[in-house]
A and B are shown apart, each in its own frame.
Chain A
Amino acid sequence: MQKISHLSQLEAEAIYIIREVAAECENPVMLYSIGKDSSVMLHLAMKAFYPEKPPFPFMHIDTTWKFREMIEFRDKKVKELGVEMIVHTHAAGVEQGINPFDHGSAYTDIMKTQALKEGLDNHGFTAAFGGARRDEEKSRAKERIFSFRNSSHAWDPKNQRPEMWKLYNTRINKGESIRVFPISNWTEKDIWQYIKRENIDIVPLYFAKERPVVFRDGNIIMVDDDRIQLLPGEKVETKKVRFRTLGCYPLTGGCESGAETLDEIIEETLSAISSERTTRVIDHESAASMEKRKREGYF
């Protein structure tokens, strides 16, 4: 029997899942965060239905604090691929001036978690694809590929449906919804190798370049616009940095690096001694915090 490679196996699994959802769920959407995992998901969705376009829209939850290069990249991709992109922002949060500097965890809750729930509810989406991977942190390691949420989007880790073979159960009652994670079984290394193999376009922020930054609480924060409030003693410096994950620029720590090409990134990643989520500022909390947030509806 001819065997296919490990990456092709992961790709096939993801495409299978994406097709199942498209065929069985009433109103699916693919969440798009512009990061490398989302770029892989978008690529998989284009492949899964070829020569058809993906039969569902994409949705980006825009906190208004994303890196500018991310937004440019998103708009370029949409034009290039001709997919439908819904951009949703929590309007009330913007009005109240909720921002990452003054509001800490409330910011994450309102501009990300609440915004996501609102976006999903507004369009009545019954299934939402997400790019989470089980290797990211411990509570994700136990989440199923199909994760069921009640009408207030809460997750009950004790009451997960058993997931057998490839027989996914997509049935839900009114008001309930599903989060689907087709790349659950991919590791960070798989993502990078796949990006290389498939020649997938990613946001330039992943590549090292001279950028204006400040050092804050042990993190390197990029000065992406003048909304950043400098603290006493802080000064803007120019450093060669790149980002391993992308999110809201004030909450995303960069790392000093010389990796300017995909090969160099892969090499750096593979020999990395620190797992990727440590560069996301909000994650320096207790191990149980992620699970708590997820029960409340965080993706």
Chain B
Amino acid sequence: MSLLPAWKKENVRGISKVKGLLKFIACGSVDDGKSTLIGHMLYDAKLIFADQEKALALDSKVGSREGEVDYSLLLDGLMAEREQGITIDVAYRYFTTSNRSFIVADTPGHEQYTRNMAVGASFADLAIILIDATQGVLAQTKRHARICALMGIKHIVLAVNKMDLISYDKRRFEEINQEFLELTAGLGFKSVEAIPVSATEGDNITKPSLQTAWYNGLPLLPYLEHVDITTDAGEESFVMPVQRVCRPNHSFRGFQGQIESGSICIGDKITTLPNKEQAHINSIYIGDNAAETAVAGQPVTLQLDKEVDVSRGCVLSKGSSPEVADMFTATILWMDDSDLVAGRNYFIKIGSKMLPASVMNIKHKIDINTGKHISADRLFKNELASCDISVSEDMVFDKFSTHKSLGSLILIDRVTNMTSACGVIEHSLRRSSNVIWQETEITRESRSSQKGQKPLTLWFTGLSGSGKSTLANAVEKKLFSLGKHTMLLDGDNVRHGLNKNLGFKEVDRVENIRRIAEVSRLMNDAGIIVITSFISPFQNDRENAKQIIGDEYIEIYVNTSLEECERRDVKGLYEKARQGLIPNFTGISSPYEEPISPDIEINTSTCSVDEAVDVIIKVIQKRWK
């Protein structure tokens, strides 16, 4: 007769049916022995399948470090990593003991992989922080602890590894533990458990070690099986971000989402956010089962007793009041290869809501090793900073410390779509409610209808000398002759006045375009057709302008080859640039990013100025219809 599998025994004995999941992360640097530790834990607990064991022995022969079974090979998966002998990405491993199911995120420890560690930490409830006993607490230890704290981890296991190399010295172990506790005192951990281990020898991994008779705590695996990670109060009130509206027919309208905290019953009164309407719960489905009540973590469909103005991105709440505002301060971790520049536009996602947003200013950088504040105007990959963020309209959010799911955010690059940053919200900024938009009685529509036209912004972009100014002038003349009210904004002219305090650094360039776009919008509000002529070489900046100007924005790409522009060299700039006299000159020492889908593209080597003007006027007339 085969042995009953553990989970079945449990059912027979009727022990706790609810076997929770423990998601944890292991952090440590290259040679701290992290992969070996996890590998050994799985191996000892007989949690790996037989043929994986075979593969392990086989792989071991190929990439062996000492000729012994190399437990770390259980985890290092990607080819590139094997070649370099280090773990680069995040690997997830699954195992179950009779007491608990586990998911381990194995992440790299180098400073240049901070973002990978953050990915693992955002997913985990507990972190094992590895320390090499021969080295003690290092700068990286504090970095790991800081990232765990930032991402919301409350429980830490300090695995002091390689105890075999320090002769299982109790005093040294205690010193390390003490030092760690002092270093992390301000990080808000709820539990920190230090365990002396040897990953290669197997001391205190699954069984108590005879070498450390002085240690009376649990070995690592039994500790993980028993540690209590339930979050305490504070997240007790009901919150559900709406993922989608379910409308199978005219009579059914339900809001679908996952309950993030608290619970809900039929008949409960809820508040919708951001609109703050009130309604009662009429019916609850958990998946496809009708229910009386539902709790945190469950995927539900809720029907209300009356029509409310709720769509994806709204939040249903009961008994708590998340913030509704368009500005807040957050601590963010920059994860993109291209730097963060204050003023640039991104998409922000909080809960199920995505909106355009910009990082208004970087208040200060936070040294990831020491926690010190440093002033900065840009942020590089793997750096941490406190920033003020403004969103294009009111958004529902909360402090991360009160509500993890409404207090966490990501920023997305508008051009590459990269997840550029993640962050946690510290507090809302109240400026939004003090600077109130003054409604004017004469509207944009009345102003433009008086002028008998629809306002537009014709945004010319192209290399220096491509013919933007020539075309812009010709188009304005044509519009003028048609009796339209226009205004031409030209690069050089604007830099003489409005933008004379700006240079050519990246921050200045972003600000230059922002101001021009804001001015264009004001003029559009006044009913005027605006024509702008700026190189505007970066896709990101043009996206920014488009975002500010809105539907009135028409992008016109004057596509003239660099060779042709250089041949023309009307202002003699290319020659100077070639001699190195103009730094960051577009096309020579700085790139021009071609528009991906311009509204109009003009090739000046195959079409005359008059023909080009005709093309542009036709498009404008279509917009007017």
Footprint of B on A, CB under 8 Å? Answer: 1-6, 8-12, 15-16, 19-20, 22-24, 46-53, 134-135, 138-139, 141-142, 157-158, 160-167, 169, 171-173, 184-185, 187, 189, 193, 266-267, 270-275, 278, 287-288, 291-292
CB-based closest 9 A-B pairs: A138-B77, A50-B288, A275-B49, A47-B287, A270-B5, A273-B50, A15-B299, A171-B417, A52-B248
29 contacts between A and B (CB under 8 A): A1-B231, A1-B295, A3-B297, A20-B352, A48-B299, A49-B246, A50-B285, A51-B246, A51-B252, A52-B247, A53-B248, A141-B77, A141-B91, A161-B419, A162-B115, A162-B335, A164-B118, A164-B122, A164-B422, A167-B408, A167-B409, A169-B419, A187-B94, A270-B5, A271-B5, A274-B51, A275-B52, A288-B79, A291-B77
Partner of A49, one of B2, B49, B256, B297: B256
Which residues between 55 and 109 of chain B lie within 8 Å of chain A, taking CB atoms?
A: 55, 59, 75-80, 82, 88-94, 96, 101, 103
**Cβ contact within 8 Å between A141 and B92:** yes
Binds A, one of B13-21, B195-203, B360-368, B441-449: B13-21
| A171 / chain B contacts, CB cutoff of 8 Å | 347, 412, 417
| B118 / chain A contacts, CB cutoff of 8 Å | 162, 164
B49 to chain A, nearest CB (A): 4
Complex Cα gap A184–B23 (Å): 14
Partner of B90, one of A22, A142, A278: A142
Complex Cα gap A171–B92 (Å): 24
User: Does residue B8 face the partner (Cβ distance < 8 Å to A)?
Assistant: yes
| B8 / chain A contacts, CB cutoff of 8 Å | 267, 270
Given contact pairs A9-B21, A162-B335, A169-B419, A1 touches B236 in the complex (Cβ within 8 A): yes
B244 to chain A, nearest CB (A): 4
User: Does residue B144 face the partner (Cβ distance < 8 Å to A)?
Assistant: no
How many B residues have CB within 8 A of the partner chain? 81
User: Does residue B278 face the partner (Cβ distance < 8 Å to A)?
Assistant: no
Main secondary structure of the interface of B (DSSP, over half): mixed
User: Does residue B271 face the partner (Cβ distance < 8 Å to A)?
Assistant: no
| A9 / chain B contacts, CB cutoff of 8 Å | 20-21, 297
Complex Cα gap A50–B290 (Å): 10
Complex Cα gap A53–B288 (Å): 11
Complex Cα gap A165–B118 (Å): 10
**Cβ contact within 8 Å between B297 and A12:** yes
Closest Cβ neighbor of B257 among chain A residues: A19
B 298-322 to A, binary, CB cutoff 8 A, 1 in contact else 0: 1101000000000010000000000
Closest Cβ neighbor of A269 among chain B residues: B5
Instruction: Pick from B301, B418, B419 the residue with the most CB of A within 10 Å.
Output: B419
Given contact pairs A8-B297, A51-B248, A167-B409, A23 touches B312 in the complex (Cβ within 8 A): yes
**Cβ contact within 8 Å between A162 and B88:** no
Given contact pairs A16-B258, A53-B248, A267-B8, A164 touches B119 in the complex (Cβ within 8 A): yes
**Cβ contact within 8 Å between B299 and A12:** yes
User: Does residue B524 face the partner (Cβ distance < 8 Å to A)?
Assistant: no
Instruction: Pick from B7, B101, B252 the residue with the most CB of A within 10 Å.
Output: B101
Complex Cα gap A46–B244 (Å): 15
Footprint of A on B, CB under 8 Å? Answer: 2-3, 5, 7-8, 17-21, 49-52, 55, 59, 75-80, 82, 88-94, 96, 101, 103, 115-116, 118-119, 122-123, 230-231, 235-236, 243-244, 246-248, 252, 254, 256-258, 263, 285, 287-288, 295-299, 301, 312, 335, 347, 349-350, 352, 354, 404-405, 408-410, 412, 417-419, 422, 596
Instruction: Pick from A16, A165, A184, A185 the residue with the most CB of B within 10 Å.
Output: A165
**Cβ contact within 8 Å between A46 and B288:** yes
Given contact pairs A20-B352, A157-B78, A273-B49, A50 touches B297 in the complex (Cβ within 8 A): no
**Cβ contact within 8 Å between B405 and A165:** yes
| B347 / chain A contacts, CB cutoff of 8 Å | 171
| A5 / chain B contacts, CB cutoff of 8 Å | 17-20
**Cβ contact within 8 Å between B298 and A12:** yes
Complex Cα gap A193–B80 (Å): 36
Given contact pairs A141-B91, A278-B51, A1 touches B77 in the complex (Cβ within 8 A): no
Closest Cβ neighbor of A169 among chain B residues: B419
Given contact pairs A164-B419, A267-B8, A189 touches B412 in the complex (Cβ within 8 A): no
A131 to chain B, nearest CB (A): 16
Complex Cα gap A216–B504 (Å): 71
Closest Cβ neighbor of A263 among chain B residues: B8
B368 to chain A, nearest CB (A): 16
Closest Cβ neighbor of B293 among chain A residues: A2
**Cβ contact within 8 Å between B298 and A169:** no
**Cβ contact within 8 Å between B419 and A50:** no
Given contact pairs A1-B231, A141-B77, A163-B119, A19 touches B244 in the complex (Cβ within 8 A): yes
Complex Cα gap A132–B18 (Å): 26
Complex Cα gap A288–B295 (Å): 43
| B299 / chain A contacts, CB cutoff of 8 Å | 11-12, 15-16, 19, 47-48
| B50 / chain A contacts, CB cutoff of 8 Å | 273-275
Partner of A23, one of B89, B297, B352: B352
Closest Cβ neighbor of A141 among chain B residues: B91
B76 to chain A, nearest CB (A): 8
A8 to chain B, nearest CB (A): 7
